[in-house]
Structure 1
């Protein structure tokens, strides 16, 4: 996940703007109230990111799609063999289940 996806906020360090992820507490906060608020905000953001299962599944599936497409571009014969293998496995599984149900 990139900083822009996690809602990073720009913070200046030594006069240079730096992106800080939503789940991190920026350095240099000396006020205890502001520090506690920043820690709470970071903790809640981490809980939301960790607990948002549909979004995590969507991101994982998107990463998988990118990997499969890259593999298919690099090795089209291997990709075709993988598709045939998956189809044969699913077909065999359906056949076994149908046979078991029909008995």
Structure 2
């Protein structure tokens, strides 16, 4: 099955076949600005990373509930230990 439609070009790529130098420069500038936006948009990147982390934790919790409970208890104990150590260091 042959389809003669062009493949979609990512926002950060320059389409092939542009012969006009002005249009090519505009396309390169547009692709460069899109790449800068993708790389430099830290809130969006952090949001995606947090979403991936939440999905991994939910999957771990679903497949291993005892391990998830142990991880929560361990994290709470570690937090308590750090707070205790800071208060103890401050009061001495």
Q: How big is each residue's C-alpha offset from its partner over 1:39-69, in whole Å with a ceiling of 9 and x where there is no partner?
A: 1101001111111111111111111001110
2:53 matched residue in structure 1:
64
**Greater relative contact order, per chain length (Cα 8 Å cut-off, separation 6+):** 2
Distance in structure 2 (CA, Å) of the matches to 1:54 and 1:80: 30
The 4+ residue runs of structure 1 with deviation greater than 6 A are none
Q: Structure 1-normalised TM-score?
A: 0.80
1:15 counterpart = 2:22: no
User: Any unmatched runs of 5+ in structure 1?
Assistant: 1-13
Whether 1:50 and 2:39 are equivalent positions in the alignment is yes
More helix by share: 2
The separation in 2 between residues aligned to 1:80 and 1:17, in whole angstroms, is 51
Tell which structure's C-alpha radius of gyration is larger: 2
Residue in structure 2 matched with residue 30 of structure 1 by the alignment: 19
What is the TM-score normalised by the length of structure 2? 0.88
* Pick aligned residue for 1:96 from 67, 85, 92: 85
Q: Quote how far apart the aligned CAs of 1:17 are.
A: 4.7
Two-structure CA RMSD over aligned residues (Å): 1.4
Q: What secondary structure sits across from 2:17 in the alignment? A: coil
